[in-house]
Structure 1
Amino acid sequence: MLKIKLRRMGAPKKPSYRIVVADSHTSRNGAFIEIIGHYDPMTDPETVKVEVEKAKEWMVKGAQPTDTAARILKKAGAL
């Protein structure tokens, strides 16, 4: 099963995240199939960049977003 989830990047105590499509059994920072966006919670306001068409394409193929990824995709207009 495919999941759309966050992959943590950045320095300690300064996280930024990539929104990726990965197998549901991989770890948080493990292997992934494709990067579909970026999320930076440290800026004011939060920076969210999502390739909406890619996100919708993966959801049609059966990828399920995690709870946090779904909240971010909703902000970006992909859900």
Structure 2
Amino acid sequence: MAVKIRLARHGAKKRPYYRVVVADSRMPRDGRYIELVGRYNPLTNPKTIEINLDKVDEWIGKGAQMSNAVEHLVAIVREGEPVKQEKNKISKKAAAKAAAAAEAAAEAAADAE
């Protein structure tokens, strides 16, 4: 029996929430699993990663294989490095408005001198 440590998707449409589970590789992604070893929520700021490393190490010792995504999450938890956050992108119109406001403030400061 091939055992995998992988993500099982839960949550509503476009609102994903993942469980890190140990499951038989023949089971469906969200189907029956052997043990729950963690949780991952990519929507919180910063992203929430809760993984029981003792259980993960125990299952790896028994021959379980980690998926690429779980391997990455476990590496983040082990190293304790913060999860990189995406920068908020502003539209071209908002960027132009901000540049105009900065230019006007610079002119006002130059006139005040």
TM-score using structure 2 length? 0.67
Q: Which residue of 2 aligns with 1:55?
A: 56
Q: Which residue of 2 aligns with 1:10?
A: 11
TM superposition shift of 1:44: 1.3
Q: Which residue of 1 aligns with 2:27?
A: 26
Larger Rg over CA atoms: 2
Mark the runs of 5 or more structure 1 residues left unpaired by the alignment.
none
Q: Which residue of 1 aligns with 2:108?
A: none
Q: Which residue of 2 aligns with 1:75?
A: 76
User: Quick one: which amino acid aligns to residue 46 of structure 2?
Assistant: P
TM superposition shift of 1:45: 1.4
Larger relative contact order, structure 1 or 2 (CA cutoff 8 Å, min sep 6): 1
User: Quick one: which amino acid aligns to residue 27 of structure 2?
Assistant: T
Q: Aligned residue pairs: how many?
A: 78
Root mean square deviation, CA, Å? 1.2
Mark the runs of 5 or more structure 2 residues left unpaired by the alignment.
80-113
Task: Report the Cα distance in structure 2 between the residues aligned to 1:24 and 1:77, rounded to whole angstroms.
Answer: 25
User: Quick one: which amino acid aligns to residue 30 of structure 1?
Assistant: G
> Runs of 4 or more off by more than 6 Å in structure 1?
none
Structure with more of its chain in helix, by fraction:
2
Structure with more of its chain in strand, by fraction:
1
